[in-house]
Amino acid sequence: MQPPTTQPVTPEQPNAEALVARSVPVPSLELTIEPQALLDRLDALARRGRLAGFRRGRSGGPLFTAEAWGTPFDGVVGATLERDASGAPRLRFVARLRPVAPALWAVAMVLSVWPGVWMTESFLASVFTSWPAAWKYTYWWYLPLAIVGAPWAVWVAWARSLASVHDSAHRVARRVAAEIPGARPAPTGTHPEPAPTAGPA
């Protein structure tokens, strides 16, 4: 009998064909163990490569944060420790996009518009050397296409990122729930879950 092989564990990437709809909230979890005990378990889980980007929270903030994979932009999911009317502790998950990468991408798109005109015109001039009309007024049609297309591209990338980050938050919540003995979702409607938003990196 062959000895069992050890497969490397990699962070679970979201499947674009089976994302959890953003209308489905990330469930809150009833906490049945001490927060410090949960953090120790999650730290061990992260060391095994099963909870990417895990960080213990600071005073006044989330109990912990973890990476939320997104396409094309990543985010972060934070777990906040709250108490219900009876005083029972629970975790509430909030996902948000990291704003730095989208902002840099948007700036790069704006700054590349005019160089794009110049490069396109140079290319057309090298192809249609005997027909100046084919490239002399490139900016007449290039600029409208860029101005109209850029906002659409930003919106599509933003929407896809929000959807995939929200799906990743569900995956993080399931992995956290597996580390809490007897964990179960909090009653529906106790805390409405906000959709992923942009926030500080």
Contacts of 143 (CB under 8 A, 6+ apart): 113, 117
Please report whether residue 40 resides in a domain: yes
String of b and e for 60-82 (b: at least 16 CB within 10 Å)? Answer: eebbbbbbbbbbebbbbbbbbeb
| Same-domain status, 48 and 125 | no
DSSP label at residue 77: E
Q: Which domain holds residue 126?
A: 102-155
Q: Which domain CATH number covers 88?
A: 3.30.310
Chain segment 20-63, per-residue pLDDT in tens? 888 789 999 999 999 999 999 999 999 999 999 999 998 889 99
Structure-model confidence comparison of residues 68 and 1, the more confident one: 68
- Domain assignment present for 108: yes
Q: Specify the higher pLDDT residue, 23 or 161.
A: 161
**Does pTM surpass 0.85?**
no
